[in-house]
Structure 1
Amino acid sequence: MAMTPVQAARRELTGFTGRLTGPEDSDYPQVRAVYNAMIDKRPALVARCAGAGDVAQAVGFARDHDLPLAVRGGGHNGAGLGTCDAGVVVDLSPLKDIEVDPDARTVRVAGGCVWGEVDRATHAHGLAVPSGIVSTTGVGGLTLGGGIGHLTRACGLTVDSLIEAEVVLATGERVRAAADEHPDLFWALRGGGGNFGVVTSFRFRPHEVRTVVAGPTFWPVEAGPEVLAAYRDFIPHAPRELNGFFLFGCVPPGPPFPAELHLRKICGVVWCWVGHDTDAAARAMAPLLDSTPEPLLHGPGPMPHPALQSAFDAFYPPGDQWYWRADFVNDIPADAIALHGKFGAELPTWKSTMHLYPVDGAAHDRAPADTAWSYRDAQWASVYAGVDPDPAGAGTLRQWTVDYFEALHPFSAGGAYVNMMMDEGQERVRAGYRDNYARLARVKAAYDPYNLFRINQNVLPA
């Protein structure tokens, strides 16, 4: 009888120091699970790697046995691109080292860390690396896709703080990618996703961020078109220290929100002023508040940066059903505003949402060709997300998300942020990279000519 992949791996990977798990193991259901419960894939082998050497062995095993290979850090990828059917999952979650050097102002982060762990380590020194808005997100996936969130306008994308990466290539070779070593690979890693290898370690240059003035302002959902029009005109001219993303959603049914607002459909802005000066933050927000109706709630206040980063964690735990669509946006004309108002009022569940993230300010300081992340001229990144714990509602979530996306896509810049895409095909991947795609394809051909790393938003080798 032929050996299963996990049996073969246990026989062949004699130097593997982590844990090899297959369908016959009792903990397999937990080990194969990812954040989005809509993804139900059954890998033949999950290699939980204890170090870069383990990663190289697992990559080599998949390559030599011609098995599909997926790489999983935090497991948050909406499309489930951190797992696969009948293949090998390189699970980086045991790689948890974080080293902060406050004098050099650098932080080295192992590839299995999540952002909450990094936030706590850097915050102790009054520092922060720009990341996303949910602290359970993996460092690797968010970084390699670009990295947008609360600090984008003040500090840039996550990749703008990346200064080097340790990478395991398809050959098993381990290389350092930085401005002075494998510079083409370093360019590609900054937005090109997991196409080029497995990053086992990142080194970032964090920013001086300790306290922020942050929190939401909520208006009735019926005010959505009026508030969105005012927000559209306001945020591009706001000080860089002020970030605020627009949303449609529902008030979460728990503290710190007043009980009378629980589950009410709303539009809103989630603010982040980088600094501790509440008066300066209030002055920066005032032009929007003065030009919109009286809000249901205006809650910004001073808080540690990690508190803001983890504020959504409790409302979006692992195990929900998720379906995403996304686009970059340069302008939001009146017809688009009307459509946003329509779909925002039709949220299928209380967890479903639409976000418009500003990607200007410091993110515009680099040219589109400076990194693989090409949409340096976009004003916003939009995302439509249908979310609910109940698998029975998956079809409804998907339909609302797709309908919303298809209605607004004609008003988009053409492509989307790859971290917020589902598995939508090569045309959408090319649109996400625009003129940078050809260079990415050349780098791909140099470092992964046989496309071993293809379970991702895939760039085809030139």
Structure 2
Amino acid sequence: MDIDKFQGQLITADHPEYDTARAVWNGAIDRHPQLIARCSGTADVTAAVRFARSHDLEIAIRGGGHNVAGTAVCDDGIVIDLSAMQAVRVDPGRCTARVQGGALWGDVDHAAQAHGLATTGGIVSHTGVAGLTLGGGLGWLMRKHGLTVDNLLAADVVTADGELLRASDDRHPDLFWALRGGGGNFGVVTSFEFQLHPVGPDALAGAILWDAGDTRKVLRFYRDFVRGAPDELGTVVRFGTAPPLPIIPEELHWRPVILVGACCAGPIGDAEEVLRPLRAFGRPLLDLIAPTPYVNHQSAFDSTVLHGWKYYWKSTYLPELRDDLIDVIAAHAFACSSPRSYAVMFHLGGAVSRVPEGDTAVGNRQASHAITLDGVWRAGEDYADRDIAWSRGFFAALESYREGVYVNFLGADERPDRIRDAYGTAVYDRLVEVKTQYDPDNVFHHNQNIRPRSERTAARSRPGPHAPGAGTAGTTRPESQTNSGAMR
């Protein structure tokens, strides 16, 4: 790399910020790159890709660094870090936003809501825009406005050859198709252009809590309630303890509860009628639903999934909640040991299911729900073995109900066939063709990897550090040492 022309920050192991810069959201990931190239713009990204290729360095791409598998950081190679590229530019006349690849969803919501606009984003505001978008993008607005990728208009991409391309429906449409769900397999996206929609500024939103002992009754009611719900209503069910948030009375802190979070993206009066049956069901411990600024609701769960905690996930799509499936969920959801562990279930359908399979690279659009089983503990706590076992056991109990998986919820120790499960055969095979065209050497393989038909560089055939055998801590080193002096 021509250091004189690189305008960003170069961070090596002797830099005082090295340990902070290599840390990602999941504290169970502990990897040591040779170099972190914190880019200031697209020209820096291009330079970093070309430098890594010329020195045969492993490449990891960091946007928000939020993915549970920890693919944003690698051992011994280079991390191309976009975290300094967070600009968001909204065009209220066209209802669009241009968003740099290192931005977080909180950045987008803040800029768009200044004009009463939004697009489907994650339910945690410190989630990165790039990772969530490239994997599909679940969020409160998805039943009304589709997944995040359904609102993607164009993307600027630095390819494996260090070339900058603009991908859209009419420019490199094959690449644009693959970016909408295929993850980070095809290049470094330095900028996204999104369609925005009128939302808020207030929405009827919040959560209702019932005692964990009511789980079966609540889920049976919830199944019937969401079956007829309008597209404006987004809901998420959380199984775990009530977090110690200021808005929750102290006597409920750490009590096992089933929580239904809701956000209705329509007029407040209409939303009150939609949510009335849910709010009236059973004997809730707490009802927090109220007219709420949309940006506040988007960040309401942020403090329950903090940076640096250790996470282990298993996940699957599920069909509609039959009684026997409800019994399985109720029997396992509260059997974890750590008070921070939880399971979360997203209701899909609506606009998500109306996009034909294959129109984007997102698979399994006809699933009713996505559930993720999340073991969580802090450094120094001894819950790891028990809650990893809980997550795996819960996942095994769901085997006869599983319908593929959302690629962004795949963890650090998944079998390669689970990546195919995320797409289905037809979509996966088409992704392989696009990968073979744009990245035949599999340069970008620190991800949920789509392998090209044949890899011309033997070193690139190694599995990424998230592959089976690498462990949840992600400490396995590549088989051969790269050139440690290449950046000096």
TM bucket by the smaller chain? over 0.9
1:52 to 17, 42, 46: 42
Q: Match for residue 381 of structure 1?
A: 370
- Provide the rounded CA distance (Å) in 2 between the counterparts of 1:258 and 1:217: 13
Worse-superposed segment, 161-170 or 350-359: 350-359
Q: Match for residue 3 of structure 1?
A: none
Could you say what secondary structure the match of 1:194 adopts? helix
1:304: Cα distance to partner? Answer: 1.2
Q: 1:302 and 2:291 equivalent? A: yes
Q: 1:247 and 2:238 equivalent? A: yes
Q: What's the RMSD between the two structures over aligned residues?
A: 1.3
Q: Match for residue 12 of structure 2?
A: 22
Q: Match for residue 6 of structure 1?
A: none
2:279–2:287 Cα contact (<8 Å) kept:
no
Q: Match for residue 351 of structure 1?
A: 340
Amino acid at match of 1:445: T
Deviations 1:260-297 (A, max 9, x none): 111110012101011341x422321233445x421111
Identity of aligned residues (%): 44
Could you say what secondary structure the match of 2:231 adopts? coil
Amino acid at match of 2:244: P
Deviations 1:152-192 (A, max 9, x none): 11111000110000000000000000001000000000010
- Provide the rounded CA distance (Å) in 2 between the counterparts of 1:18 and 1:393: 40
- Provide the rounded CA distance (Å) in 1 between the counterparts of 2:63 and 2:194: 17
1:349: Cα distance to partner? Answer: 2.1
Q: 1:410 and 2:400 equivalent? A: yes
Q: What does residue range 328-343 of structure 1 map to in structure 2 within 5 Å?
A: 328-343=317-332
Q: What does residue range 61-460 of structure 1 map to in structure 2 within 5 Å?
A: 61-210=51-200, 211-277=202-268, 279-290=269-280, 292-391=281-380, 392-413=382-403, 415-423=404-412, 424-434=414-424, 435-460=426-451
Amino acid at match of 1:407: A
Could you say what secondary structure the match of 1:66 adopts? coil
Q: Match for residue 35 of structure 1?
A: 25
Amino acid at match of 1:223: D
Amino acid at match of 1:370: D
1:200: Cα distance to partner? Answer: 0.1
Deviations 1:207-231 (A, max 9, x none): 1102211110111101111111221
1:35: Cα distance to partner? Answer: 0.5
1:152–1:358 Cα contact (<8 Å) kept:
no
- Provide the rounded CA distance (Å) in 2 between the counterparts of 1:293 and 1:133: 26
1:98–1:118 Cα contact (<8 Å) kept:
yes
Amino acid at match of 2:311: W
- Provide the rounded CA distance (Å) in 1 between the counterparts of 2:68 and 2:39: 23
Deviations 1:247-267 (A, max 9, x none): 202111131011111111001
1:400: Cα distance to partner? Answer: 1.3
TM-score under structure 2 length normalisation: 0.90
- In structure 2, stretches of 5+ residues that fail to align are 454-488
1:14: Cα distance to partner? Answer: 3.6
- Provide the rounded CA distance (Å) in 1 between the counterparts of 2:146 and 2:87: 24
1:146–1:158 Cα contact (<8 Å) kept:
yes
TM-score under structure 1 length normalisation: 0.95
- Provide the rounded CA distance (Å) in 2 between the counterparts of 1:135 and 1:389: 21
1:130–1:150 Cα contact (<8 Å) kept:
yes
2:338–2:383 Cα contact (<8 Å) kept:
no
1:276–1:302 Cα contact (<8 Å) kept:
no
- Provide the rounded CA distance (Å) in 2 between the counterparts of 1:444 and 1:137: 26
1:13–1:57 Cα contact (<8 Å) kept:
no
